Structure 1
Amino acid sequence: MGFLRFWFKTIRLSIARIGAGWMFALLTFNFNRVSIADLGALAVVVTSLIGLHHFISFFQVYWGRFADRYALFGYRRTPYIFLSGMGASLIFLLLPSIAVGLGERSLAATFEALLLIGFFGVAMAMNGSASNALMAEVTTEKERGGVVAVVWAAIILSGIITAVVAGQMMPNYDPEAMQRLYNLTPAVVFITTFLGIIGMERRITPEEQATLLATQPDMSASPLSTFRIARNLMSSNPHVRAFFFFVLLAVMGIFLQDAILEPFGAEVFGMNQKETAAFQQSWGGGALLGIFLMGIISSYTSLSKKTIATLGGLMVAIGLLAVAGAGLTHQAALITPALLVIGLGVGFFDVGALSMMMDMTIEGQAGLYMGLWGMAQGLGTGFANILSGALHTGLIETGLLSEAMGYAVIFGFEAVAMLLAIGLLRSISIQEFKGLTRSDISAALAMDTAG
């Protein structure tokens, strides 16, 4: 019975993340490709807009702190996940027309995109913080590695499914087909969230709610103060600081290619929409295989989470260099194997690093710490998007380098970021991190209030 309960819980947690996977896939492999390669928008504008919502990720710490203290209808995670997911899904109804405006280089469309994607960022900060905290709270430390593997596999699989659906509904850019595709988003998010989270969380009693209000630190501070709180926490514990920057650099090392991979296929190899959509399937399939392989390997070996993450990061760096080589030699046949290597590395890395993220929390403050790691993820992805677009515009659109050479420089820069992250990872100890006690957190919050 325990085995069945574990898998039922794991499958439901996985279903709950499918809607988020759908939204991020549409935004980062379809919207960017259409705007840049099909409609002629400036790459730096599009990738900066896509990256914008990640820079609002400091809200993850705020929402984590807020939800730790304030339950809605007796639940600290479920209402926040549901409301934020549905709110984020609504912007996709407007994105097809925004893409046209960006292609026309309209200031009005750019401003509208800024507002919509900014709102998306605030909503997804709440969603990510609450989802990760729920996962940490309903799983044991022993279960966590397996749950993380399956949940992340579901997110990747949802990206692959999104690519397949997009490729079938819109093999070549068509504004009406794009609108029909994006109109599916609210329904996808509603159904998967409802099936995944309803009834998962235990409802707290009024007495427990009163205890939360009495014992948890006051959460009435402005969301902007979370930058200072993060700084205070990092200054008091070197392992918090090292893990934050490890996550930030590693995410850059994985996702700097995310907003430009499809334009790379279009500009260097002349591929159409359907062909570049297959990139998502290649690296996503590799990631799924990596997750399941590492799950099997972990069952029969004593590999540490740190070793697993290190191995995955090295594979990502090797795969990125192979993609760069494919562009320089104009060998399209090398792209798929290289993306599979990247995917395998991402799968290995995610099992190790995400499990470490959930271990790098303390009892009663899961929302706060998962929000902090989520902020590092968001900033890493945001920097990755902006840097990829800036490098594309500065190196390729200006004619400074050829398209193949420009992309090789970008992919090489990404590989270096991942190698730097691996170097930081080697200095981190989960056991020493646990030395950050509740009094240390109170001190960090008190420092913020005094500041």
Structure 2
Amino acid sequence: MAFVRFVIKTIRLSIIRIGAGWMFALLTFNFNRVSISDLGAIAVIVTSLIGLHHFISFFQVYWGRLADRTPIMGYRRTPYILLSSLIGSLIFLPLPAVAVGLGAHSPLATLEAFVLILIFGITMAMNGSSSNALIAEVTTPKERGAVIAVVWATIIISGIASAAVAGAIMPNYDPVKMQQLYNLTPWVVMITALIGVLGMERRLSQQDLAALAAEPQQAAENPLTSFRVAAGLVRDNVQVRAFFLFVLLAIMGIFLQDAILEPFGAEVFGMNQAATAHFQQAWGGGALLGMIGIGFLSSLVPISKKLIATIGGLGVAGGLVMIVTASIISRQALIEPGLMVMGLGIGLFDVGALAMMMEMTVDGQTGLYMGLWGMAQGLGNGFANIVSGALHTGLIESRLLSPTTAYAMIFGFEALVMVAAVGILRGISVQEFKGLTSKDIGTVLAMDAA
């Protein structure tokens, strides 16, 4: 019976994140493709839009603290998850019209797009923070690893499903069908959020609320102070700095292709919406296979997390090289195998790198370090989107290079970024990192207060 309860709990926690997977996939494979390739929007503007929400990931700290201290009707997670799901999903309703405006190079549409994505990013920070906190609060340490793996896999699967639905509804760009597709978003997001979250969280008792109200504010919990402490650790500790840079570059090495992959299919091979929608399914399926495979293998044979991340990173680079080759020799048949290899690498990398992140913490300061690594992820994602768009605009839209050559250079550059990240990883030692003690953090705090 306990196992059945665990399975049901895991499924419901995973269902909560289906909406996030749907929305992020729709933004990165559909909105960008339509805006850039079908409507002629300036690529760097579109990719900067998509990357914008990553740069405001620090809001997760704010929302987490707010939810901790400000329960709504006795709940600290459920209202924030539902509110953020509602607001975030409603952002998608005007996006088809915004895409048309971006294609017309309208300043007003550009401003509207940035405002909408800014709101989306802030609400998704609330959603992510609250969802992660809920998982931490309703699972035991023994359960947590399996739950996180299933939740992560669910996000990937929902992205694949989003691509499949989009391809079925809109095989080629059609403004009416695009609006119909985006109109589904609030329904998908809210139905799954309600199924997953209602009844999952325990309501705080009157005693809990009284204790919360009596709890004094701690100056050290100020988000600005936390940011300064984190910055001091990156500046002063070699291992922290190296791991931060590794995470940032590795995420760039994975996601630099994300916002331009579908335009690549359209501009180099003339593929339609339905065909490029398979890209998400190819690498997402590979990632799932990689995660499941390494999870099973590591349960039988102990494998170094650093080795897993290294093999995964090199696999990502190898898949990108296959895509580069496809572009250079005009072999469309190489794209999906390349994406599968890249996806396998991503799956391995995710398992190894996430496990390393959890090890690269100090007792009593886990939240600080996980926030620091999360910031590196956010910056890596954001820079990936901006750099890819800038390269597209500078090389292709300017007609400096042909799309075939330009995309080969962009994906080749991405592969080199990932190889550089793997090179940095080789010099990182968890044991040496553990030499950083709480006293060192106290020193940084004291310096910040001085």
Q: TM-score, normalised by structure 1?
A: 0.90
Q: Which moved more, 1:411-420 or 1:137-146?
A: 137-146
CA distance in 2, matches of 1:417, 1:127: 30
Partner of 1:301: 301
Aligned pair in 2 of structure 1 residues 369, 208: CA closer, same or farther (>3 Å)? farther
Structure 1 residue 207, shift from structure 2 partner: 5.1
* Equivalent residue letter for 2:218: P
Report if the CA contact (8 A) 1:64-1:130 is conserved.
Answer: yes
Aligned counterpart, 1:282: 282
Structure 1 pair 343/216, CA: closer, same or farther in 2 (3 Å)? farther
1:257 is the counterpart of 2:257: yes
Q: Which residue does 1:59 correspond to in 2?
A: 59
Q: Is the 8 A contact 2:220 2:226 kept in 1?
A: no
Partner residue of 2:135? Answer: 135
Could you say if the C-alpha distance between residues 309 and 13 of structure 1 is closer, same or farther in structure 2, counting changes exceeding 3 Å?
farther
Q: In structure 2, what is the equivalent of residue 323 of structure 1? A: 323
Match of 1:312? 312
Q: 1:407 to 1:228 in 2, by over 3 A?
A: same
Paired residues for 1:217-236 under 5 Å: 217-218=218-219, 221=222, 227-235=227-235
Matched residues in 2 for 1:308 and 1:245: separation? 18
- Cα distance in structure 1, aligned partners of 2:195 and 2:55: 30
Question: Which residue in 1 is equivalent to 2:393?
Answer: 393
Q: Find the counterpart in structure 1 of residue 351 from structure 2.
A: 351
* C-alpha distance in 1 between matches for 2:32 and 2:163: 13
Contact 1:259/1:385 (<8 A) preserved:
yes
The question of whether the paired residues in 2 share the 8 Å contact of 1:41 and 1:105 is answered with yes
Question: What one-letter code is carried by the residue in structure 2 that aligns with 1:297?
Answer: L
Q: Name 1:190's counterpart in structure 2.
A: 190
2:115 match: 115
Aligned to 1:165: 165
- Compared with structure 1, are the counterparts of its residues 300 and 418 closer, same or farther at alpha carbon in structure 2 (3 Å cutoff)? same
TM superposition shift of 1:420: 2.2
Counterpart AA for 1:35: S
Q: CA deviation at 1:443?
A: 6.1
The alpha-carbon deviation at position 119 of structure 1 amounts to 1.0
1:157-183 C-alpha deviation (Å, 9 max, x unpaired): 101100110011111111111111111
TM-aligned CA deviation for residue 4 of structure 1: 2.9
User: Number of residues paired by the alignment?
Assistant: 449
Look up the equivalent residue of 2:410 and give its one-letter code: I
- What is the Cα deviation at residue 300 of structure 1? 0.7
Q: 1:68, 1:368 within 8 Å by CA — same for their partners in 2?
A: no
Equivalent in the alignment of 1:29: 29
Letter of the 2:246 counterpart: F
What is the CA distance between 1:412 and its match in structure 2? 1.2
CA contact (8 A) 2:226 2:368 kept: no
SS at match of 1:283: helix
Residue 92 of structure 2 aligns to a residue whose secondary structure is: helix
Give the unaligned 5+ runs of structure 1. none
For residues 310-369 of structure 1, what are the alpha-carbon distances to aligned partners after superposition, in whole Å with 9 as ceiling and x for unaligned? 221111111011101110000001111100001111111112222333455567766554
Q: CA deviation at 1:203?
A: 4.2
Measured after TM superposition, the shift of residue 184 of structure 1 is 1.1
Aligned equivalents of 1:176 and 1:184: distance in 2? 13
Is this contact kept in 2: 1:291–1:347, CA < 8 A? Answer: yes
Distance 1:14 1:236, change over 3 A: farther
Asked if the contact 2:32–2:259 (Cα under 8 Å) also holds between the matched residues in 1, the reply is yes
Deviations 1:418-449 (A, max 9, x none): 12222333444556656666676666566556
Moved more, 162-171 or 343-352: 343-352
* Preserved contact between residue 132 and residue 370 of structure 1 (Cα < 8 Å): no
Kindly provide the amino acid, as one letter, of the partner of residue 189 in structure 1.
V
Q: Deviations over 1:230-277 (max 9, x none)?
A: 313434654443333222211111110000000000011011111111
Partner of 1:15: 15
1:194, 1:109 → 2: CA distance?
A: 33
Q: Which of the pair has the greater relative contact order for Cα pairs under 8 Å at 6+ separation?
A: 1
CA shift, 1:287, in A, is 1.2
8 Å CA contact 1:35–1:100 kept in 2: the answer is yes
Residues 376, 261 of structure 1: CA spacing in aligned structure 2 closer, same or farther, 3 A cutoff? same
What SS class does the counterpart of residue 92 from structure 1 fall into?
coil
With over 3 angstroms needed to count, the CA separation of the structure-2 counterparts of 1:188 and 1:292, relative to structure 1, is same
- Tell me by how many angstroms 1:373 deviates: 2.9
Once the 2 structures are TM-superposed, how far is the Cα of residue 308 of structure 1 from its aligned partner?
1.8
| Secondary structure at the counterpart of residue 184 of structure 1 | helix
2-side partners of 1:141 and 1:356: how far apart? 17
Identity %: 68
State the alpha-carbon separation in 2 of the partners of residues 20 and 49 from structure 1: 17
Partners of 2:317 and 2:416 within 8 A in 1:
yes
**Mapped partners of 2:126, 2:426: distance in 1:** 30
Bigger drift between 414-423 and 380-389 goes to 414-423
CA contact 1:136–1:366 (8 Å) conserved in 2? no
Aligned-residue Cα RMSD (Å) equals: 2.7
Offset from partner CA, 1:117-161 (integer Å, 9 cap, x none): 111111112222232333344444544443332211111110110
